[in-house]
Amino acid sequence: MPSPHPAIEVERLRAEWQVGDRADPGFRRACTVRLNELRALFRVQPDDFAPAMIAALRGIADELRLPAPRTEAAALAAALKATFGYDSFRPGQRAIIEAVMEGRDCIAVMPTGAGKSLTYQLPARLLGGTTLVISPLISLMKDQVDALEEAGLRATFLNSSLPPDERARRVGALRRGEYELCYAAPEGLEASVGEALEGVALTLIAVDEAHCISHWGHDFRPAYRNLAGLKTRFGVPVLALTATATREVMRDIVAQLAMVQPAEVRGSFFRRNLRLSAYKKGEAGLPQVRDAIVRLVRARAGERGIVYCLSRRSVESLTEFLRRHGVTAAAYHAGLEPEERTRVQDAFRRDAVDVIVATVAFGMGIDKPDIRFVIHRDMPRSPEAYYQEIGRAGRDGAASDCVLFYSYADVMSYDRFAGDAPAEIAARQRRQPREMLNLAERPGCRHQGIVGYLGEAIAPCEDACDACAGTDVLAAAPKVSRGRRGLAVAPPAVASVAAAALPTGALAARALFEELRALRRRLADARKVPAYMVFSDATLLEIAARRPRSEAQLLAISGVGPKKLAQYGAAILDVTRSG
Ligand code: ADP
Ligand code: MG
Ligand code: ZN
């Protein structure tokens, strides 16, 4: 450090700390950085530090560890807009963020797509210091960090994929307090990452997919047990996030992470933007299931979707069938080589493949917010599995279709799998598919059915399921006709699933939306990022509906913050101003 003498540096820091704005994250960060530099200096020349200087530094360090002065509601909303461009919090987000900002431990249970990440990303910006994010999927870290950088946050990740020199560079920057967020996998904490955190001014630890810590959960990851000592070691609040709500799992999370009287926040499981429908296979008047699926997919050309199948064989044959009909589809199941699976997943993430046809093996690694449809070629194993799988659609909040095909024959297939399991497990494996069948055949609102199964009472959705709205997505999809030379297909509809949210009469808005989508594609390609990182479908829809013609009007749209305005504003306004 280019300092005249540590005594002067310490005194300067002490004086600034006295008068500075301690609610300002930038100020806190600057102080943290200087504190860390002095700590490093102390390690090499301890004799230059008089006891009074050490006490002063300790005092500042202690105060920095306390939560920043309470941020008022209006300030939180302003920070949300300034950082992410969003106009309002989703349900549950504010309660979590407030608990965290007060320095409390917090356990949050919210469904997929509820917006859990933002509940540590915004505090990371506001608290100063560094937020450590424990996340199970190394393959997603780069994307998460890229997306944060697109939003203007300073983030990084540490994991086994990094070459040693790059890793050393990041650890150095981390210790200097240059990152607001650092992602790491639980496995990494065992060894090197744990060491790297030495001397880092952590202000928050966020544990994503926290159910992985529990034996009771469905994705138990032993390394999550390593997190036990983290809270005690750093003395900072822990925020545990999960979509799995059972009591046992929650109790386990709280105990394993040594959380102290955590605030508990539960979101609603009702996802209004998912439009649910179901068809019984083999019912009179219905096309064959694969023809039905081709129709549904073709009617959604250019949109991303997942088609779940029960068996690898049907994954392979349906992929082939869709390809023959001009759909860019790829197969995914546990029988493929790991490299092939990674390749398919990457292609989907980069929008190079529109449709993934998969078994349930296609799951945790998907964080794509713009999946516009999930089709079940066969009935899922249980209501929980159904909820989890349809939950992958529409995370960005824009309308998305979930179409279920089911039959009693599917129940019998599950019975065959149950074969040799111990009695208790076998009983459950027999029960669950029957519960799923009942759910599919149950009259009334489908949302009410599935959310009710998860223990939450809601009023009928009125417009987001086939039962309430009287919709028939299959009838609405153009027919695939069987010509003499195989199948001839009607030209794909241009209107996207998301655009269906625009009023039918709003032809100009729909055309504008398609134009904006094409523009987003070009912008994303130029920056080599997936389209959703430029703008979400929900944001494009709002732009199409409101047609902003000035920068101020564009900034008023949810999803457009100062950073996006500077980066893409001119290009967007070019389109909205013309015509
Ligand atoms: P979860 O982890 O709960 O499944 P994510 O954190 O991945 O959900 O968020 C899903 C999507 O919702 C993301 O694309 C995110 O940008 C968006 N999102 C989060 N909070 C808001 C908000 N307040 N307004 C609009 N979109 C939001
Ligand atoms: Mg998440
Ligand atoms: Zn309904």
Model pTM?
0.79
What distance in Å separates the CA atoms of residue 143 and residue 370, rounded to the nearest whole number? 14
Q: Strands across the sheet with 238-242, in order?
A: 155-158, 181-184, 130-134, 202-207, 238-242, 106-109, 263-266
The dihedral region occupied by 282, where left means phi > 0, alpha psi between -120 and 50, and beta the remainder, is left
The amino acid at residue 283 is: E
What distance in Å separates the CA atoms of residue 127 and residue 23, rounded to the nearest whole number? 8
Cα 272 to middle of ligand 3, angstroms: 9
What distance in Å separates the CA atoms of residue 536 and residue 514, rounded to the nearest whole number? 13
Q: Of 332-346, 474-488, 501-515, give the range with the top mean pLDDT.
A: 332-346
Q: Whose CA is nearest to atom 9 of ligand 1?
A: 115
Q: Which pLDDT tens digit goes with each residue over 216-238?
A: 666 778 888 778 788 888 889 99
Which atom of ligand 1 is found nearest the CA of 536? 14
Residue 63 has pLDDT above 90, yes or no: no
Structure tokens at 276: 């649910």
Residue 251 has pLDDT above 70, yes or no: yes
What distance in Å separates the CA atoms of residue 422 and residue 67, rounded to the nearest whole number? 51
273 pocket-lining for ligand 1 (C-beta < 6 Å) = no
CA quadruple 26, 31, 37, 39: dihedral positive or negative? negative
Q: Whose CA is nearest to atom 11 of ligand 1?
A: 396
HEC-encoded secondary structure of 455-519: CCCCCCCCCCEHHHHCCCHHHHCCCEEEECCEEEECCCCCCCCHHHHCCCCCHHHHHHHHHHHHH
Cα 528 to middle of ligand 1, angstroms: 22
| Integer CA distances (angstroms), 292 to 85, 285, 478, 493, in order | 39, 11, 10, 15
Q: What DSSP character marks residue 287?
A: P
Average pLDDT on 441-454 reads: 95
Q: Which ligand is closest to the CA of 391, given by its number? A: 1
Q: Whose CA is nearest to atom 13 of ligand 1?
A: 396
Which atom of ligand 1 is found nearest the CA of 89? 23
- Give 247 or 290, the one with higher predicted confidence: 290
Which atom of ligand 1 is found nearest the CA of 86? 24
* 5-9, 269-273, 295-299: least confidently modelled range: 5-9
What distance in Å separates the CA atoms of residue 221 and residue 212, rounded to the nearest whole number? 5
Q: Whose CA is nearest to atom 27 of ligand 1?
A: 115
Q: Which pLDDT tens digit goes with each residue over 177-192?
A: 999 999 998 887 766 6
Q: Which pLDDT tens digit goes with each residue over 295-318?
A: 999 999 889 999 999 999 999 999
* 36-50, 89-103, 247-261, 495-509: least confidently modelled range: 495-509
Residue 194 has pLDDT above 50, yes or no: yes
